[in-house]
Amino acid sequence: MGEGKRISIVDTSGVSSAAGEIVIGSLLQLLFELAIRGGASELGRATPLLVVVEEAHRYFGSSPTSRVARSYVDRIAREGRKYGVGLMLVSQRPSELPATAMSQVGTIIALRLNNDADQSSVGSALPDSLSGLIQSLPSLRTGEAIISGEALPIPSRVRLKKPNPWPLSHDPDIAAWTQAPRTELDLSESLAKWRVSS
């Protein structure tokens, strides 16, 4: 899959949610089954694998097309370490992740969460003694996180090093919404990209 490279990126951002669920489910199934059957020099314990699923809440919903993805993310979370397969789920909506996968979490890195359901989901995966840290989730600043689990000896509230260059993820300028557009809106490029990816 990676043509000899150590990192492979599968970008499903241009496909529909249903197709993304099928692709992710099939990849998780393929990678896990290969790791189970891996020999001494193949994928698995001899060559450990970390599967990172960005925007994970998109792929593990309750739709029929997410059934394979859900079952394999749960299976990797439960059994993956025996076969050298690790799993990192990255999501802004932890409440929408499978409960089995959340219950098997080794380390949680939680940034600011305002939604009660998401806070509860993170809180249920952490020890009861950390209720004070969980209550601070809505008040975390940009770049602050609560980290708990195997990655640190004690649960901590930390400031993360900001990436350089900073990603294009900042909020839009609200003042721009109140002004009349300077030019006519041209959607032709967006429509062309959409048609190609459909």
Domain count along the chain: 1
Taking CB atoms within 8 Å and a gap of at least 24, the contacts of 152-158 are: 152/107, 155/126, 155/127, 155/130, 157/133
Q: Is residue 110 part of a domain?
A: yes
Q: Is residue 9 part of a domain?
A: no
Q: Is residue 120 part of a domain?
A: yes
Q: Is residue 70 part of a domain?
A: yes
Q: pLDDT tens, 77-100?
A: 999 999 999 999 999 999 999 988
pTM: 0.79
157 SS3 class: strand
* Sign of the C-alpha dihedral computed for residues 58, 60, 63 and 66 taken in this order: positive
Q: Is residue 198 part of a domain?
A: no
Q: pLDDT tens, 25-74?
A: 999 999 999 888 876 667 777 888 999 999 999 898 778 888 899 999 99
Q: Is residue 177 part of a domain?
A: no
Question: Can you give the CATH number for the domain in which 28 is found?
Answer: 3.40.50.300
Q: What is the pLDDT of residue 138?
A: 92
Instruction: Please give the residue range of the domain that contains residue 76.
Output: 17-168
pLDDT band at 144 (very low <50, low <70, confident <90, very high): very high
pLDDT(170) > 80: no
Q: Is residue 182 part of a domain?
A: no
Nearest to 111 by CA among 97, 96, 127, 92: 92
pLDDT(165) > 60: yes
Q: pLDDT tens, 106-140?
A: 999 999 999 999 999 888 888 777 778 888 999 99
Nearest to 133 by CA among 153, 150, 112, 152: 112
Q: Is residue 25 part of a domain?
A: yes
